[in-house]
């Protein structure tokens, strides 16, 4: 990112580079200064000035509201593009009470104001002329969508006077900074990703294209070494360990009870061996990546690659596990400092990390089950794991709870529950192209299924028509879901669910009318992607969330629907963690209580208050009835006292009464 520096004469180099960045700042950038500037622009029609002034006032309200909502402190010049990009796109237009079109007009007018003030690069029709060299490359591309994916990047390179032969690996980083610094642009990371994807495609497909591998800002730091570069003995040992996770070996990770009990500080005598449970392919892949990351940490600290000959070399000698975890903690600290979440002087306590704790866990598994290290060395690894493991969550995260409360606002919830049907109802009047209409139907169907069945994202995306949908072959109607346990996260229980007629009808309409427009003939997935694959999980989830947020005006994501299901159940039946656990497919009710304990407290309090009023009604609060009940209670108490003072010969004491009043 470009930083401010000063020229020898004391001027600000940031401003001296303005022309190169496509801007030339003029005037006062305070809110009142901009209002005064708009009022003084008499070279434009009065109606346009009024529209600009109105849109600026709306934008001012949005910016101040989002500063308060997000805690982002207003900067001295809040009308710089960087600050606006940080707050302007945080919520969908509906959150601010605006229609999409009105919000688009506000942004367009604000962009024109900022261009005139000199803090926004000049963009628009007739202003995106490319340098001849870049135009020549653009003309070689035939696909319109590929051109759209690269035109803004080419415009940036034209503005900053970079020729094709001068492009470096960091050009995308500079592009992202330029977009944020001098343009109003929503979702810059997504735009940069699309640019990188189209550039990579052009490198392969377009003759004469600059052969420069662009590096995106925020890309994962690929410090690891492929496993196939390690000695053969190490690779073979990794394969043996992973086979143990698959349950293929009698001496596998889950079949060594003695080591388990030794690690727990017990002698294991008389104890039963734990049952073997093979791990899912996804978990095994993750363990392989963790082993690779652990080995790479040693290489980064000077351990020769050829000396890492087996998994024992990751956990022995005893300082090896500490070296591995400290390396990854240092990388975490560096990222936190760069993101502004940690002081550079390192005064803050060492952070904890679920990722680093997972590395410690795989080292423990290797030490206990695969290598069989002595107990003192195993204890040391257990202490290291405890030191880096985050505290166990005892209740729902407050950020998630806040989003959930907003989603449960009565009008918002009503809109959400009816949104899939509303999207399908609108299709004829929108007059979309067939494929665009099919996309709307696809997202409507996905949301309807999510509301009915709280599936995890992976299970939703990977739904196969013939394998997972229950179809009545007499009527061809979809009647439910049947996902085997092996395909679920916990791999403990299948997902078997009957659909209501409403859900079944929507799925049937989508499959028969719209899905053929999205899928090839051999594609078996309910939500088809390219070729014979399903939709990309990340892109699918982001697009569905964006569409829902645009309608509701509040935050939304796919996993929030699972929380919503738990909320609805606990609202009706406070404390029903076992039921929620089964519906959500958790490994045990303990998992459910960890995340949802206390969520139903507000409903429990309301239920207690409601029952109090019912008891009062049943007790009949009429004064006469109250007085009669009081007298009967007092009479019973007198009888009890009298019975207690009766003599041993059965005679009543002097003054004893004859019974109830």
Does residue 294 surpass a pLDDT of 90? yes
465 and 355 co-located in one domain: no
Residue 638's pLDDT band, with cuts at 50, 70 and 90, is: confident
Which tens digit of pLDDT belongs to each residue from 546-605?
899 988 888 898 988 888 888 777 777 766 777 777 777 777 777 766 666 655 565 666
Residue 14's pLDDT band, with cuts at 50, 70 and 90, is: very low
367 and 416 co-located in one domain: no
- Does an H or E element contain 483, and which? strand 477-483
Q: Which of the 8 DSSP states describes residue 334? A: H
Please report, rounded to a whole number, the percentage of residues in the chain having pLDDT higher than 70: 78
Residue 49 and residue 39 in contact, taking contact as beta carbons nearer than 8 Å: yes
Does residue 657 surpass a pLDDT of 70? no
Stronger pLDDT, 216 or 328, i.e. the higher one:
328
Which tens digit of pLDDT belongs to each residue from 87-119?
898 888 888 888 888 999 999 999 999 999 988
| Residue 619 pLDDT | 64
d(CA 89, CA 496): 40
343 and 275 co-located in one domain: yes
Residue 18's pLDDT band, with cuts at 50, 70 and 90, is: very low
| Residue 621 pLDDT | 55
With respect to residue 68, please indicate whether it lies within any of the assigned structural domains.
yes
With respect to residue 598, please indicate whether it lies within any of the assigned structural domains.
no
380 and 496 co-located in one domain: no
Which tens digit of pLDDT belongs to each residue from 192-225?
988 998 999 999 899 989 999 887 765 555 567 7
Q: How many CA atoms lie within 13 A of 105 on its CB side?
A: 13
- Does an H or E element contain 405, and which? helix 398-407
Does residue 345 surpass a pLDDT of 70? no
d(CA 514, CA 435): 8
Name which of 304, 292, 359 is nearest 329 in CA terms: 359
Please report, rounded to a whole number, the percentage of residues in the chain having pLDDT higher than 90: 37
Phi, psi of 478 (to 5 degrees): -80, 120
364 and 476 co-located in one domain: no
Report helix, strand or coil for 250: coil
353 and 486 co-located in one domain: no
| Residue 270 pLDDT | 41
Contacts of residue 489, defined as CB under 8 A and 6 or more positions apart, other chains included, come to 280, 456, 458, 585
255 and 357 co-located in one domain: yes
| Residue 13 pLDDT | 40
Does residue 352 surpass a pLDDT of 50? yes
Residue 530's pLDDT band, with cuts at 50, 70 and 90, is: confident
What does the pLDDT average to over 26-37? 84
Cα 329 → chain centroid = 23
With respect to residue 177, please indicate whether it lies within any of the assigned structural domains.
no
d(CA 349, CA 490): 34
| Residue 341 pLDDT | 54
33 and 111 co-located in one domain: yes
322 and 277 co-located in one domain: yes
| Residue 351 pLDDT | 66
Residue environment code for 358-381, b if the CB has 16+ CB neighbours within 10 A, otherwise e: bbbbbbbbbbbbbbebeeebbebb
Name which of 583, 586, 587, 541 is nearest 566 in CA terms: 583
274 and 331 co-located in one domain: yes
Residue 237 and residue 295 in contact, taking contact as beta carbons nearer than 8 Å: no
With respect to residue 51, please indicate whether it lies within any of the assigned structural domains.
yes
Which tens digit of pLDDT belongs to each residue from 56-74?
999 999 999 988 877 777 7
334 and 429 co-located in one domain: no
Domain containing 82: what range? 24-117
- The DSSP-derived string for 455-481 is --HHHHHT-BHHHHEEEETTTTEEEEE
| Residue 497 pLDDT | 87
Q: Which of the 8 DSSP states describes residue 517? A: G
With respect to residue 586, please indicate whether it lies within any of the assigned structural domains.
no
CATH number at residue 475: 1.10.443.10
d(CA 416, CA 74): 33
Domain tally for the chain?
4
366 and 425 co-located in one domain: no
Return the residue matching tokens 């090896």: 320
With respect to residue 262, please indicate whether it lies within any of the assigned structural domains.
yes
With respect to residue 397, please indicate whether it lies within any of the assigned structural domains.
no
Peptide bond preceding 359 in cis form (omega within 30 of 0) = no
Which tens digit of pLDDT belongs to each residue from 361-419?
999 999 999 999 999 999 999 999 888 887 765 566 777 878 888 888 888 889 999 99
Which tens digit of pLDDT belongs to each residue from 439-498?
999 999 999 999 988 888 999 999 999 999 999 888 888 999 999 888 887 777 888 889
| Residue 332 pLDDT | 82
Does residue 257 surpass a pLDDT of 70? no
| Residue 594 pLDDT | 66
Q: Could you tell me the CA-to-CA distances from 402 to 324, 551, 552 in Å, in that order?
A: 37, 19, 15
With respect to residue 145, please indicate whether it lies within any of the assigned structural domains.
no
Domain boundary among 388, 423, 448: 388
């Amino acid at each position: 990112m470009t930083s401010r520096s000063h020229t020898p004469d004391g001027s600000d180099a940031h401003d001296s580079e303005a022309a190169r960045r496509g801007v030339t700042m003029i005037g006062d950038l305070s809110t009142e200064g901009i209002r005064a500037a708009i009022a003084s622009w008499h070279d434009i029609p009065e109606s346009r000035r009024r529209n600009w002034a109105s849109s600026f006032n709306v934008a001012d309200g949005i910016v101040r509201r989002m500063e308060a909502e997000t805690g982002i402190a207003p900067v001295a010049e809040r009308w710089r593009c960087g600050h606006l990009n940080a707050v302007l796109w945080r919520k969908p237009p509906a959150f601010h009470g605006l229609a999409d079109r009105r919000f688009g007009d506000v942004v367009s007018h604000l962009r024109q104001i900022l261009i005139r003030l000199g803090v926004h690069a000049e963009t628009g029709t007739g202003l995106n002329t490319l340098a001849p060299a870049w135009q020549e490359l653009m003309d070689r591309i035939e696909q319109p969508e590929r051109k759209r994916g690269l035109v803004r990047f080419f415009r940036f390179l034209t503005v900053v006077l970079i020729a094709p032969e001068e492009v470096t690996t960091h050009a995308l980083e500079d592009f992202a900074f330029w977009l944020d610094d001098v343009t109003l642009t929503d979702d810059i990371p997504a735009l940069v990703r699309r640019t990188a994807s189209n550039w990579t495609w052009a490198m392969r497909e377009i003759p004469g294209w600059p052969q420069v591998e662009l590096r995106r800002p925020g890309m994962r730091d690929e410090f690891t070494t492929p496993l196939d570069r390690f000695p053969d003995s190490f690779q073979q040992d990794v394969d043996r360990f992973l086979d143990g996770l698959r349950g293929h070996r009698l001496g596998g990770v889950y079949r060594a009870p003695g080591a388990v009990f030794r690690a727990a500080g017990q002698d294991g005598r008389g104890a039963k061996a734990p049952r073997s449970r093979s791990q899912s392919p996804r978990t095994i892949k993750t363990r392989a990546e963790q082993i690779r990351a652990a080995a790479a940490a040693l290489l980064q600290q000077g351990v020769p690659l050829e000396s890492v000959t087996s998994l024992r070399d990751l956990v022995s000698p005893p300082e090896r596990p500490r070296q591995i975890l400290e390396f990854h903690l240092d990388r975490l600290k560096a990222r936190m400092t760069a993101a502004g979440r940690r002081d550079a002087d390192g005064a803050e306590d060492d952070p904890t990390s679920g990722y680093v704790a997972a590395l410690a866990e795989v080292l423990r598994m290797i030490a206990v089950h695969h290598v069989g290290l002595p107990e003192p060395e195993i204890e040391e690894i257990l202490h290291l794991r405890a030191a880096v493991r985050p505290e166990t969550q005892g209740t729902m995260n407050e950020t998630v709870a806040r989003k959930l409360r907003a989603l449960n606002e009565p009008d918002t919830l009503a809109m959400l529950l009816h949104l899939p049907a509303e999207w399908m109802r609108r299709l004829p009047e929108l007059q979309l192209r067939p494929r665009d209409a099919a996309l709307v139907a696809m997202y409507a169907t996905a949301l309807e299924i999510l509301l009915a069945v709280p599936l995890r994202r992976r299970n939703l995306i990977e739904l196969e028509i013939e394998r997972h949908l229950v179809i009545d072959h007499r009527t061809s109607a979809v009647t439910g879901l049947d996902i085997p346990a092996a395909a679920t996260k916990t791999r403990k229980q299948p997902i078997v669910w009957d659909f209501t007629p409403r859900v079944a009808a929507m799925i049937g309409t989508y499959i028969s009318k719209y899905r053929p427009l999205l899928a090839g003939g051999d594609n078996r997935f309910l939500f088809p992607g390219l070729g014979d694959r399903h939709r990309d999980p990340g892109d699918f989830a982001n697009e569905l969330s964006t569409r829902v947020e645009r309608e509701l005006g509040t935050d939304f994501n796919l996993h929030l629907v699972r929380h919503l299901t738990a909320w609805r159940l606990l609202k009706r039946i406070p404390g029903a963690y076992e039921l929620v656990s089964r519906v959500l497919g958790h490994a045990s009710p303990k998992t459910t209580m960890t995340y949802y304990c206390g969520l139903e407290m507000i409903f429990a309090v309301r239920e207690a208050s409601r029952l109090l009023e019912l008891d009062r009604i049943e007790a009949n609060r009429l004064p006469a009835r109250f007085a009669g009940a009081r007298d009967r209670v007092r009479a019973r108490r007198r009888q009890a006292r009298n019975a207690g003072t009766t003599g041993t010969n059965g005679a009543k004491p002097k003054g004893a009464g004859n019974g109830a009043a």
